[in-house]
Protein backbone atom coordinates (compact mmCIF):
# COMPACT_ATOMS: atom_id res chain seq x y z
CA UNK A 1 0.00 0.00 0.00
CA UNK A 2 1.46 3.41 -0.89
CA UNK A 3 1.24 6.24 1.64
CA UNK A 4 1.33 9.98 1.01
CA UNK A 5 4.73 11.63 1.57
CA UNK A 6 4.32 13.83 4.64
CA UNK A 7 7.79 15.41 4.63
CA UNK A 8 10.34 14.73 7.35
CA UNK A 9 9.77 14.29 11.08
CA UNK A 10 12.66 15.06 13.43
CA UNK A 11 12.30 12.96 16.59
CA UNK A 12 14.54 13.59 19.61
CA UNK A 13 15.22 10.71 21.98
CA UNK A 14 14.42 8.14 19.30
CA UNK A 15 16.93 5.56 20.54
CA UNK A 16 14.47 3.94 22.98
CA UNK A 17 11.03 3.97 24.56
CA UNK A 18 8.37 6.40 23.40
CA UNK A 19 10.62 8.07 20.80
CA UNK A 20 11.40 4.74 19.15
CA UNK A 21 7.68 4.03 18.72
CA UNK A 22 7.05 7.54 17.35
CA UNK A 23 9.76 6.89 14.76
CA UNK A 24 8.12 3.63 13.67
CA UNK A 25 4.61 5.05 13.58
CA UNK A 26 5.56 8.25 11.76
CA UNK A 27 7.48 6.35 9.09
CA UNK A 28 4.44 4.10 8.60
CA UNK A 29 2.36 7.27 8.19
CA UNK A 30 4.61 8.48 5.35
CA UNK A 31 7.23 10.62 7.05
CA UNK A 32 10.93 10.45 6.33
CA UNK A 33 12.84 10.68 9.59
CA UNK A 34 15.72 12.38 11.32
CA UNK A 35 16.41 10.43 14.50
CA UNK A 36 18.27 12.27 17.25
CA UNK A 37 19.91 10.93 20.45
CA UNK A 38 23.34 10.09 21.88
CA UNK A 39 23.37 6.31 21.28
CA UNK A 40 24.10 6.28 17.58
CA UNK A 41 24.35 2.47 17.42
CA UNK A 42 20.73 2.16 18.53
CA UNK A 43 19.58 4.94 16.20
CA UNK A 44 21.34 3.30 13.26
CA UNK A 45 19.83 -0.11 14.04
CA UNK A 46 16.36 1.47 14.27
CA UNK A 47 16.94 3.39 11.04
CA UNK A 48 17.85 0.16 9.22
CA UNK A 49 14.80 -1.63 10.63
CA UNK A 50 12.33 1.15 9.78
CA UNK A 51 13.96 1.80 6.40
CA UNK A 52 13.61 -1.88 5.46
CA UNK A 53 9.99 -2.02 6.62
CA UNK A 54 8.77 1.23 5.06
CA UNK A 55 11.25 2.30 2.39
CA UNK A 56 11.35 5.77 3.94
CA UNK A 57 14.51 7.87 4.07
CA UNK A 58 15.89 7.70 7.60
CA UNK A 59 18.83 9.74 8.83
CA UNK A 60 20.45 9.54 12.25
CA UNK A 61 21.96 12.50 14.06
CA UNK A 62 24.08 12.01 17.16
CA UNK A 63 23.48 14.85 19.61
CA UNK A 64 23.83 15.30 23.34
CA UNK A 65 21.05 17.72 24.21
CA UNK A 66 22.85 18.82 27.38
CA UNK A 67 25.48 20.34 25.06
CA UNK A 68 24.56 23.80 23.80
CA UNK A 69 26.55 23.24 20.57
CA UNK A 70 24.65 20.03 19.80
CA UNK A 71 21.31 21.73 20.49
CA UNK A 72 22.38 24.53 18.12
CA UNK A 73 23.14 21.96 15.40
CA UNK A 74 19.65 20.48 15.73
CA UNK A 75 18.07 23.95 15.89
CA UNK A 76 19.89 24.92 12.68
CA UNK A 77 18.69 21.75 10.99
CA UNK A 78 15.09 22.46 12.01
CA UNK A 79 15.36 26.05 10.80
CA UNK A 80 17.09 25.32 7.50
CA UNK A 81 15.86 21.94 6.27
CA UNK A 82 12.75 22.76 4.28
CA UNK A 83 11.73 19.08 4.18
CA UNK A 84 11.04 19.07 7.96
CA UNK A 85 7.31 19.28 8.62
CA UNK A 86 7.10 17.76 12.11
CA UNK A 87 9.19 18.12 15.27
CA UNK A 88 8.75 15.62 18.11
CA UNK A 89 10.41 16.89 21.28
CA UNK A 90 10.58 13.59 23.10
CA UNK A 91 14.06 13.31 24.67
CA UNK A 92 13.87 13.58 28.42
CA UNK A 93 15.27 12.27 31.67
CA UNK A 94 14.10 11.88 35.22
CA UNK A 95 16.07 12.30 38.44
CA UNK A 96 17.08 9.63 40.90
CA UNK A 97 15.63 11.13 44.08
CA UNK A 98 14.52 14.70 44.61
CA UNK A 99 15.80 18.18 45.47
CA UNK A 100 17.48 16.81 48.55
CA UNK A 101 19.34 14.00 46.78
CA UNK A 102 20.69 15.64 43.62
CA UNK A 103 23.66 17.92 43.07
CA UNK A 104 23.70 20.99 40.85
CA UNK A 105 25.12 19.07 37.88
CA UNK A 106 22.27 16.55 37.86
CA UNK A 107 19.63 19.27 38.21
CA UNK A 108 21.23 21.40 35.47
CA UNK A 109 21.37 18.38 33.17
CA UNK A 110 17.66 17.70 33.63
CA UNK A 111 16.83 21.34 32.94
CA UNK A 112 19.03 21.29 29.82
CA UNK A 113 17.36 18.20 28.33
CA UNK A 114 13.79 18.62 29.56
CA UNK A 115 13.45 22.41 29.33
CA UNK A 116 16.18 24.24 27.40
CA UNK A 117 16.50 21.90 24.42
CA UNK A 118 12.78 21.39 23.69
CA UNK A 119 12.06 25.08 24.24
CA UNK A 120 14.75 26.19 21.78
CA UNK A 121 13.74 23.55 19.25
CA UNK A 122 10.07 24.53 19.62
CA UNK A 123 10.99 28.17 19.00
CA UNK A 124 13.08 27.30 15.95
CA UNK A 125 10.35 25.06 14.53
CA UNK A 126 7.51 27.51 15.25
CA UNK A 127 9.31 30.38 13.49
CA UNK A 128 10.24 28.33 10.45
CA UNK A 129 6.87 26.55 10.18
CA UNK A 130 4.97 29.86 10.41
CA UNK A 131 7.20 31.29 7.67
CA UNK A 132 6.49 28.21 5.51
CA UNK A 133 2.79 28.21 6.36
CA UNK A 134 2.61 24.65 7.70
CA UNK A 135 4.13 22.20 10.18
CA UNK A 136 3.56 20.46 13.48
CA UNK A 137 5.23 20.30 16.88
CA UNK A 138 4.61 17.51 19.38
CA UNK A 139 5.97 18.07 22.89
CA UNK A 140 6.14 15.06 25.20
CA UNK A 141 5.27 16.45 28.62
CA UNK A 142 3.78 14.31 31.45
CA UNK A 143 0.73 14.04 33.67
CA UNK A 144 3.16 15.00 36.43
CA UNK A 145 2.70 18.56 35.13
CA UNK A 146 -0.49 18.37 37.24
CA UNK A 147 1.11 16.55 40.20
CA UNK A 148 3.97 18.54 41.76
CA UNK A 149 3.56 16.54 44.99
CA UNK A 150 4.68 13.31 43.31
CA UNK A 151 8.39 12.49 42.84
CA UNK A 152 10.68 15.50 42.48
CA UNK A 153 9.26 18.90 41.58
CA UNK A 154 12.09 19.45 39.12
CA UNK A 155 10.98 16.80 36.62
CA UNK A 156 7.29 17.64 37.06
CA UNK A 157 8.14 21.34 36.76
CA UNK A 158 9.99 20.71 33.50
CA UNK A 159 6.90 18.98 32.14
CA UNK A 160 4.62 21.79 33.38
CA UNK A 161 6.92 24.13 31.47
CA UNK A 162 6.45 22.15 28.24
CA UNK A 163 2.68 22.08 28.76
CA UNK A 164 2.70 25.84 29.35
CA UNK A 165 4.84 26.51 26.26
CA UNK A 166 2.59 24.32 24.13
CA UNK A 167 -0.66 25.90 25.32
CA UNK A 168 0.75 29.39 24.89
CA UNK A 169 2.07 28.65 21.42
CA UNK A 170 -1.20 27.01 20.37
CA UNK A 171 -2.97 30.26 21.24
CA UNK A 172 -0.47 32.26 19.20
CA UNK A 173 -0.76 29.88 16.25
CA UNK A 174 -4.56 30.05 16.02
CA UNK A 175 -5.60 30.81 12.47
CA UNK A 176 -2.37 29.38 11.00
CA UNK A 177 -1.73 25.92 9.60
CA UNK A 178 0.94 25.25 12.21
CA UNK A 179 -0.02 22.81 14.96
CA UNK A 180 1.29 22.21 18.44
CA UNK A 181 0.32 19.37 20.74
CA UNK A 182 1.41 18.57 24.29
CA UNK A 183 1.24 14.85 25.07
CA UNK A 184 0.90 13.96 28.74
CA UNK A 185 1.70 10.30 29.34
CA UNK A 186 1.12 8.70 32.70
CA UNK A 187 3.53 5.99 33.78
CA UNK A 188 4.70 4.27 30.60
CA UNK A 189 7.02 1.27 30.43
CA UNK A 190 10.47 2.45 29.29
CA UNK A 191 14.09 2.71 30.34
CA UNK A 192 13.52 6.08 32.00
CA UNK A 193 12.36 4.38 35.19
CA UNK A 194 15.33 2.06 35.58
CA UNK A 195 17.70 4.88 34.57
CA UNK A 196 16.39 6.97 37.45
CA UNK A 197 16.57 4.14 39.99
CA UNK A 198 12.88 3.22 40.07
CA UNK A 199 11.17 -0.18 39.70
CA UNK A 200 8.04 0.87 37.84
CA UNK A 201 6.11 -2.35 38.46
CA UNK A 202 6.82 -2.33 42.19
CA UNK A 203 5.98 1.38 42.51
CA UNK A 204 2.91 1.57 40.37
CA UNK A 205 1.23 -1.84 39.97
CA UNK A 206 -1.62 -1.72 37.48
CA UNK A 207 -0.84 1.84 36.40
CA UNK A 208 1.67 1.30 33.61
CA UNK A 209 0.85 1.86 29.92
CA UNK A 210 2.84 0.28 27.06
CA UNK A 211 4.72 2.67 24.76
CA UNK A 212 2.88 1.46 21.63
CA UNK A 213 -0.54 2.14 23.20
CA UNK A 214 0.63 5.56 24.40
CA UNK A 215 1.96 6.67 21.02
CA UNK A 216 -1.02 5.35 19.05
CA UNK A 217 -3.40 7.22 21.34
CA UNK A 218 -1.29 10.38 21.22
CA UNK A 219 -1.24 10.34 17.42
CA UNK A 220 -5.02 9.91 17.39
CA UNK A 221 -5.19 13.03 19.58
CA UNK A 222 -2.88 14.79 17.13
CA UNK A 223 -5.10 13.80 14.20
CA UNK A 224 -8.08 15.23 16.07
CA UNK A 225 -6.33 18.58 16.49
CA UNK A 226 -5.97 18.37 20.27
CA UNK A 227 -3.61 20.81 21.97
CA UNK A 228 -3.43 18.68 25.12
CA UNK A 229 -3.63 14.89 24.88
CA UNK A 230 -3.73 12.76 28.03
CA UNK A 231 -3.92 9.13 26.86
CA UNK A 232 -4.53 7.52 30.28
CA UNK A 233 -7.29 9.92 31.40
CA UNK A 234 -10.62 8.10 30.85
CA UNK A 235 -12.86 10.98 31.92
CA UNK A 236 -11.86 13.85 29.63
CA UNK A 237 -14.28 16.12 31.49
CA UNK A 238 -11.94 16.09 34.50
CA UNK A 239 -9.26 17.87 32.47
CA UNK A 240 -11.76 20.19 30.78
CA UNK A 241 -13.20 21.22 34.18
CA UNK A 242 -9.71 21.75 35.60
CA UNK A 243 -8.64 23.85 32.63
CA UNK A 244 -11.87 25.86 32.62
CA UNK A 245 -11.36 26.67 36.33
CA UNK A 246 -7.83 27.87 35.55
CA UNK A 247 -9.05 30.08 32.71
CA UNK A 248 -11.92 31.43 34.84
CA UNK A 249 -9.41 32.53 37.51
CA UNK A 250 -7.55 34.59 34.89
CA UNK A 251 -9.48 37.88 35.08
CA UNK A 252 -9.05 37.95 38.88
CA UNK A 253 -5.31 37.44 39.01
CA UNK A 254 -4.07 40.99 38.47
CA UNK A 255 -5.66 43.88 40.37
CA UNK A 256 -4.73 47.31 41.64
CA UNK A 257 -6.14 46.41 45.06
CA UNK A 258 -4.71 43.87 47.46
CA UNK A 259 -7.16 41.04 48.14
CA UNK A 260 -9.18 41.73 51.33
CA UNK A 261 -7.66 38.76 53.20
CA UNK A 262 -4.20 40.33 52.95
CA UNK A 263 -5.24 43.71 54.35
CA UNK A 264 -3.93 44.33 57.84
P1 LIG B 1 13.64 6.52 27.57
O2 LIG B 1 13.36 5.20 26.94
O3 LIG B 1 14.67 6.59 28.64
O4 LIG B 1 13.98 7.55 26.40
C5 LIG B 1 14.62 8.76 26.62
C6 LIG B 1 15.26 9.22 25.32
O7 LIG B 1 15.89 10.48 25.57
C8 LIG B 1 16.31 8.26 24.83
O9 LIG B 1 16.18 8.08 23.44
C10 LIG B 1 17.61 8.98 25.15
O11 LIG B 1 18.59 8.69 24.16
C12 LIG B 1 17.20 10.43 25.05
N13 LIG B 1 18.13 11.24 25.82
C14 LIG B 1 18.41 11.17 27.14
N15 LIG B 1 19.39 12.01 27.46
C16 LIG B 1 19.74 12.64 26.31
C17 LIG B 1 20.71 13.62 25.97
N18 LIG B 1 21.56 14.12 26.90
N19 LIG B 1 20.79 14.04 24.70
C20 LIG B 1 19.97 13.52 23.75
N21 LIG B 1 19.04 12.61 24.01
C22 LIG B 1 18.93 12.17 25.27
O23 LIG B 1 12.34 7.13 28.22
P24 LIG B 1 10.87 7.46 27.64
O25 LIG B 1 9.93 7.11 28.71
O26 LIG B 1 10.67 6.88 26.30
O27 LIG B 1 10.95 9.04 27.58
C28 LIG B 1 10.53 9.80 26.47
C29 LIG B 1 9.83 11.05 26.98
O30 LIG B 1 8.61 10.68 27.61
C31 LIG B 1 10.62 11.85 28.01
O32 LIG B 1 10.52 13.22 27.73
C33 LIG B 1 9.92 11.54 29.31
O34 LIG B 1 10.08 12.56 30.26
C35 LIG B 1 8.49 11.41 28.81
N36 LIG B 1 7.59 10.68 29.73
C37 LIG B 1 7.83 9.39 30.04
C38 LIG B 1 6.98 8.74 30.92
C39 LIG B 1 7.21 7.31 31.31
O40 LIG B 1 6.60 6.87 32.30
N41 LIG B 1 8.03 6.58 30.59
C42 LIG B 1 5.88 9.41 31.45
C43 LIG B 1 5.67 10.73 31.12
C44 LIG B 1 6.53 11.36 30.23
P45 LIG B 1 20.16 8.51 24.43
O46 LIG B 1 20.34 7.94 25.80
O47 LIG B 1 20.58 7.58 23.34
O48 LIG B 1 20.74 9.87 24.26
- Name the strand (E) or helix (H) holding 178: strand 178-183
| Residues β-bridged to residue 61 | 36
Q: Which residue ranges form the domains of the chain, and what is each CATH number?
A: 8-262 (3.40.50.720)
| Distance separating alpha carbons of residues 162 and 182, to the nearest angstrom | 7
* Ligand 1 neighbourhood includes 139 CB (under 6 angstroms): no
Quick check: pTM over 0.75? yes
Give the model's confidence band at 114: pLDDT under 50 very low, under 70 low, under 90 confident, else very high: very high
Is the alpha carbon torsion for 195, 47, 34, 122 positive or negative?
negative
The stretch 240-244 carries a mean pLDDT of 97
The yes-or-no answer on residue 155 being catalytic is yes
pLDDT digits (tens, 9 = 90+) for 15-33: 999 999 999 999 999 999 9
| Distance separating alpha carbons of residues 251 and 244, to the nearest angstrom | 12
| Distance separating alpha carbons of residues 120 and 74, to the nearest angstrom | 10
Q: How far is the CA of 159 from the centre of ligand 1 (A)?
A: 12
Contact yes or no for 182/141 (Cβ under 8 A): yes
pLDDT at 174 > cutoff 80? yes
Of the given ranges (165-169, 204-208, 228-232), which has the lowest mean pLDDT? 204-208
Q: How far is the CA of 18 from the centre of ligand 1 (A)?
A: 7
Contact yes or no for 179/133 (Cβ under 8 A): no
Amino acid sequence: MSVENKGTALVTGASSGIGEVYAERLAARGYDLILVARRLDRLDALARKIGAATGRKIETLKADLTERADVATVEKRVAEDASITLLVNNAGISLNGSFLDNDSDAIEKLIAINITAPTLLTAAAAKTFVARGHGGIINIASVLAFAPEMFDGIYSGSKAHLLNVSQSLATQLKGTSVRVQAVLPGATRSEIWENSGKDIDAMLPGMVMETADLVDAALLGYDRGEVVTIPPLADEQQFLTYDAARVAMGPNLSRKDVAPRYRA
